[in-house]
Amino acid sequence: MSSSEVQQYGFFFDQSRCVHCYTCQMACKGKNNISPGSVRWLRLFNWETGSFPNVVVNTLFAPCYHCENPVCVTAAGDGSVIKEPKYGAVLIDPAKSSNNPNLQAANEACPYGAIMFDADGNASKCNMCVDRLEMGQLPVCVLSCPMRALDFGLITDLQAKYGTNADLPGVPSSSTSSPAVVFKPMTPKIQIVAYDATTALQLLGARGSLPPVYTDPNQATDTTGVTIGRSTLNMKVSGQDLIDATQDNYA
């Protein structure tokens, strides 16, 4: 079936509205009976950019984006990942999901690392809640969001409503796979209460009769080589990489 015969549904994510509450992730795990542990069909990321007073905590809602150019399907090459035409969902064939190296290749090709592997080597991923779609219901992650940061529908309808942007700063480019998603980027930070940042830094560093925490305010804002949080998004790292990237090595 040609791609023109696929009716493509997709997601909308408003980065400003997301408060990283994990409700959508838990709803997905619950609905799909996914055990506690590292298998998460819906992953949530946050990473910090900027420095005081312009720190931003970026968030990302990351299910499978059911791409219009599903590079995972091509990379697998054995029919273990397919794109179905009714909703444009990209699905794993359960009969080919166990210890299949082609699915590792599919995940390597996926810009977002959306395919999960359990400890026994079984692969699984977000299935767009197609069972719920068949009953006229929304994907449970979208329905669960208390901040109304998510929406779902025909990608053309979402684009008419929210625009066509499928990229966010720090997130892999949409040019590789044409994800079926519309992103609304974080709105610029607004200083609601006016204050002088230099004076604020001096007050923050003061410790009464004790020496100040720092003498040069730049010591508090220059985080070069001092990783105390995740400063970049990496959607395809090992557990050890994550530990290394989040440890406080300011010894």
Q: Which two tokens stand for residue 94?
A: 């359960």
> Minimum distance from CB of 24 to ligand SF4 (Å)?
3
Measured distance CA(157)–CA(207) in Å, rounded: 56
Residue closer to ligand SF4 by CB (options 75, 204) is 75
Residue closer to ligand SF4 by CB (options 125, 201) is 125
Residue closer to ligand SF4 by CB (options 4, 191) is 4
Residue closer to ligand SF4 by CB (options 44, 105) is 44
Residue closer to ligand SF4 by CB (options 62, 201) is 62
CA-based nearest residue to 70, from 100, 114, 129: 114
CB 26 within 8 A of CB 140: no
Beta strands in 31-189 (DSSP E): 43-49, 56-62, 81-83, 90-92, 116-117, 123-124, 150-154, 181-184
> Minimum distance from CB of 59 to ligand SF4 (Å)?
6
> Minimum distance from CB of 241 to ligand SF4 (Å)?
20
CB 41 within 8 A of CB 63: yes
CA 4 to chain CA centroid, Å, is: 28
Q: Which residues bind ligand SF4 (CB under 6 A)?
A: 18-24, 28, 31-32, 41-42, 44, 61, 63-67, 70-72, 90, 110, 112, 114-115, 126-129, 139-141, 144-145, 147, 149-150, 177, 179
Q: Which two tokens stand for residue 93?
A: 């064939």
> Minimum distance from CB of 204 to ligand SF4 (Å)?
30
Measured distance CA(60)–CA(63) in Å, rounded: 10
> Minimum distance from CB of 122 to ligand SF4 (Å)?
16
> Minimum distance from CB of 208 to ligand SF4 (Å)?
40
Residue closer to ligand SF4 by CB (options 26, 200) is 26
> Minimum distance from CB of 214 to ligand SF4 (Å)?
34
Beta strands in the chain (DSSP E): 9-14, 43-49, 56-62, 81-83, 90-92, 116-117, 123-124, 150-154, 181-184
Residue closer to ligand SF4 by CB (options 8, 201) is 8
How many other C-beta atoms can be found within 10 angstroms of the C-beta atom of residue 166? 22
